[in-house]
Amino acid sequence: MTEKTNQVKPGICLSWDEVRKELPDINGDEELFKRIWEDNDALGYMYIWQLLLSF
């Protein structure tokens, strides 16, 4: 019985690769978009963990 699970790195809710597929073409610096996405995603992950640990 083998199940394919979505392996997401710790500290990430949605990986950039998943989100990038849904976005239209980026005309600017894609690395800038990626960095901003990962920074904001990490904040969301931290918020979820704080809620779980605090209550």
Judge whether 3 lies within some domain: no
Q: Which two tokens stand for residue 15?
A: 């990986």
* pLDDT score recorded for residue 34: 94
pLDDT digits (tens, 9 = 90+) for 1-49: 555 566 777 788 889 999 999 989 989 999 999 999 999 999 998 999 8
Judge whether 43 lies within some domain: yes
Domain extent, residue 49, equals 29-55
Rounded-to-integer distance, Cα 11 and Cα 46, Å: 7
**Number of domains composing the chain:** 1
- Does residue 22 sit in helix, strand or coil? helix
